Amino acid sequence: MSKLVYGLDVGTTKIVAIAGRVDGRRPVEVLAMGEAPSYGLRRGVVVDREAATESVAEAIEACGGGKLRGGPVSVGIAGSHIRSLNTEVTLLNRSRNRLVTERFLKRLHAEARGADPDEDEEVLHVVPRSFVLDGTEGVRQPVGLAARRVTMRAHVVSGAISSIQNLLGAVEDCGVRVSRVVLEPLASAEACLSPDDRQMGTALLDIGGGTTDIAAFLRGSLAHTAVVPIGGESFSADVAYGLKLPFEDAERLKVRYGSALSDGVDDVAPVLLDDRHHSAKFISQILEYRAREVLEFARDSLDHARVRNSLPGGIVLTGGGSQLEGFGQLAEEILGMRARLAVPRRIKGDVKPVQKPQYSTAVGLLYFAAKNDDLRPKSKGAGAFDFGSIVAAVKGWFRVLPG
């Protein structure tokens, strides 16, 4: 039986509303997608709710009007308020037959959520990585197995309550019912990485307009996530500053002539924009400087998490910013591993317009919705924003585990 799924990628430069149909384990069919320029966001977070709401409403209209209003919609989240860590929790299983039940798993989840509490933060995802059952390591699915002492190793992602509230407020003002919030790099990874990539060990880098998002997978499970508050807009802003040009002109120069490898650019070749000549070399030097900074951040982040040397699958680049010429090559140099560019995979329907790196998050949100059977509306819709209901919804996010 097929069901309809919806996603809303509230990006820094553009908002994408997307509707799809899923049918068992087959690829997601994209039914409609609408896009609008994004106003009211900076570095992934809402700074002007009214402007953000208008942009979201425009994207929804572009996606065929009322479709998304009925919801339930999966919404992407990013921003430097996101924090992630690997933790482990242990509980004694007191059931008489010693069998680990789904209910017991839920207790482990609750324990992991409470492990590192901060009153201004809300846990977004608890993603189990592996279980230890009475000393036996590496258990993937503990339900139905017997054990007294059960340890869950998990990756926990949390965000600032106020940032989450502002995002959901802007979305719900448009009459959208939010069913789950998904960390953007996890959504992009759903769209760009195959199960084999995750098994082998692969990191995803989504270079957006406001942020660069990282997700690394080892042995099939999520090992590390991070959000770097630098994106394509910083690249353009640097060019604007360096060339004393309006931001929009710098953006056009970057997209048309930019390169992250300044060595390969002719010293004297000029590029033309609106009858003015600019030095291609100088532009690419500015861009390379930024590109190096972002990639060094990513490298340090992977080093800090001690995963960089365990990624034979290399690095997968996506997001609009990944299209900068030479970026992949520079990534290989700085990160010391193979890099490739990725667009959303395993989709059907009218896929041509969707197969671009800037739509990885949007398509990934459909995958998330597809994985989650529970499609009951969790929030109350337009004008009835109730943070309590959102917190309740948060509890069910990223339901890797059945139950």
Ligand X SMILES: Nc1ncnc2c1ncn2[C@@H]1O[C@H](COP(=O)(O)OP(=O)(O)OP(=O)(O)O)[C@@H](O)[C@H]1O
- Binding site partner of 197, from Mg ion, ligand X, none, Cβ cut-off 5-8 A by kind: none
> Residue 10 CB, nearest distance to ligand X (Å)?
7
For residues 256 and 250, give the distance between their C-alpha atoms in angstroms, rounded to a whole number.
10
- Sign for the CA dihedral angle at 37, 42, 44, 48 comes to negative
Is the Cβ–Cβ distance between 225 and 155 less than 8 Å? yes
For ligand X, the binding residues (CB under 6 A) are 11-14, 38, 44, 78, 208-211, 231-233, 236, 251, 254-255, 258, 319-321, 323-324, 358
What does 7 interact with, of Mg ion, ligand X, none (CB < 5 to 8 A by kind)? none
Minimal distance, residue 171 CB to ligand X, in Å: 14
Nearest residue (CB) to Mg ion, 58 versus 308: 58
- Euclidean distance between CA atoms 142 and 109, whole angstroms: 13
Nearer to ligand X, 142 or 357 (CB): 357
* Cis status, amide bond into 195, omega within 30 of 0: no
Tokens 């060339």 appear where? 243
How far, in Å, CA of 144 to CA of 157, rounded? 27
HEC-encoded secondary structure of 268-293: CCEEEECCEEEEHHHHHHHHHHHHHH
Quote the least distance from Cβ 245 to Mg ion, whole Å. Answer: 25
**Closest approach of Mg ion to the CB of residue 127, in Å:** 20
Q: Per-residue contact track with Mg ion, 10 to 29, x per CB under 5 A?
A: -x------------------
The one of ligand X, Mg ion, none whose footprint includes residue 188, by CB under 5 to 8 A per kind, is none
323 binds, among ligand X, Mg ion, none (CB under 5 to 8 A by kind): ligand X
> Phi and psi (nearest 5°) for 196?
-65, -40
- Looking at the Cβ atoms of 129 and 254, the one nearer to ligand X is 254
Q: Which is nearer to ligand X, 78 or 369 (CB)?
A: 78
Q: In this complex, which beta carbon is closest to ligand X, that of residue 218 or of residue 291?
A: 291
Minimum separation from the CB atom of position 68 to ligand X (A): 18
Cβ distance to Mg ion smaller for residue 319 or 326: 319
C-beta of 151 vs 322, nearer to ligand X: 322
By CB under 5 A, residue 208 contacts Mg ion: yes
24 Ramachandran zone, left/alpha/beta (phi>0; psi -120 to 50): left
Cβ-in-10-Å burial (0-12, 13-18, 19+) of 304 comes to: exposed
- Phi/psi zone of residue 319: left (φ > 0), alpha (ψ -120 to 50 degrees), beta? left
- Nearest approach, Cβ of 231 to Mg ion (angstroms)? 8
Q: Is 397 left (phi over 0), alpha (psi -120 to 50) or beta?
A: beta
- What is the C-alpha to C-alpha distance for residues 198 and 281, in angstroms, rounded to an integer? 38
Token pair, residue 230, equals 């630098």
Give residues with Cβ within 8 angstroms of 317, minimum separation 6.
205, 207, 327, 328, 331, 339, 340, 341, 342, 357
Of 6-14, 139-147, 281-289, 304-312, the window that binds Mg ion (rule: CB under 5 A) is 6-14
Cite the beta strand spans of 140-220 per DSSP E: 149-160, 178-183, 202-207, 212-218
Q: How far is the CB of 319 from Mg ion (least distance, A)?
A: 6
In the bound complex, what is the minimum distance in angstroms from residue 356's beta carbon to ligand X? 9
User: Residue 251 binds what, of ligand X, Mg ion, none (CB under 5 to 8 Å, by partner type)?
Assistant: ligand X
Stretch that binds Mg ion, among 5-13, 28-36, 277-285, 349-357 (CB under 5 A): 5-13
Contact predicate 341/321, CB 8 Å: no
Interface positions, 81-140, toward Mg ion (CB under 5 A): none
Does residue 231 touch Mg ion according to CB under 5 A? no
CB of 25 to Mg ion, least distance (A): 26
Residue 374 C-beta: closest distance to ligand X, Å: 27
Which does residue 14 bind out of Mg ion, ligand X, none, counting CB within 5 to 8 angstroms by kind? ligand X
Of 78 and 132, CB closest to Mg ion:
78
13 binds, among ligand X, Mg ion, none (CB under 5 to 8 A by kind): ligand X
Which amino acid belongs to residue 379? S
C-alpha to C-alpha distance for 81 and 247, rounded to whole angstroms: 26
The CA-based dihedral angle spanning residues 331, 335, 337, 338, taken in that order and rounded to the nearest 10 degrees? -20
The SS3 call for residue 141 is: coil
Rg (CA), the chain: 22
The interface with Mg ion within residues 324-363 (CB under 5 A) comprises 361
**Contact footprint for Mg ion (CB under 5 A):** 11, 208, 361
